[in-house]
A = this chain, B = another copy of it.
Amino acid sequence: MPKQVDHRERRETIARALWRVVEQQGWTRATMREIAREADASLGQVQHYFSSRTAMLVFAMEFASEQTSQRVTRNLDRLGSPPHPRDVLRVTLMEMLPLHPDARATSRMSAAYTLEALHDPQLHEQARLGLHDGRALTERLIRQAITDGHIPADREPAIETNLLLALTGFTPLLDFDVIDPDAALTAIDYYLDKLFACTPQPPER
Please name the residue on chain B nearest to A28 by beta carbon. B28
Interchain CB contact under 8 A, B173 and A187: no
Chain B residues with Cβ below 8 Å from A120 are 26
Please name the residue on chain B nearest to A187 by beta carbon. B162
Knowing A156-B190, A162-B184, the reply to whether A28 touches B176 (Cβ < 8 A) is no
Chain B residues with Cβ below 8 Å from A28 are 27-28, 116, 119
Chain A interface (Cβ within 8 Å of chain B)?
A: 24-29, 108, 111-112, 114-120, 124, 127-128, 131-132, 135, 156, 158-159, 162-163, 165-173, 175-179, 183-184, 186-187, 190-191, 194
Interchain CB contact under 8 A, A183 and B166: no
Interchain CB contact under 8 A, A119 and B166: no
A174 to chain B, nearest CB (A): 10
Interchain CB contact under 8 A, B26 and A115: yes
Interchain CB contact under 8 A, A167 and B175: no
Interchain CB contact (< 8 A) of A111 among B27, B115, B117: B115
Q: Complex formed: what's the CA distance from A143 to B171 in Å?
A: 24
Q: Complex formed: what's the CA distance from A177 to B27 in Å?
A: 24
Interchain CB contact under 8 A, A118 and B166: no
Chain B residues with Cβ below 8 Å from A179 are 135, 162
Chain B residues with Cβ below 8 Å from A165 are 169, 173
Interchain CB contact under 8 A, B163 and A119: no
A99 to chain B, nearest CB (A): 13
Q: Complex formed: what's the CA distance from A131 to B177 in Å?
A: 10
Name the residue among A108, A116, A178, A190 with the largest chain B CB count within 10 angstroms: A178
Chain B residues with Cβ below 8 Å from A162 are 170, 173, 179, 183-184, 187
A78 to chain B, nearest CB (A): 26
Interchain CB contact under 8 A, A114 and B170: no
Please name the residue on chain B nearest to A130 by beta carbon. B176
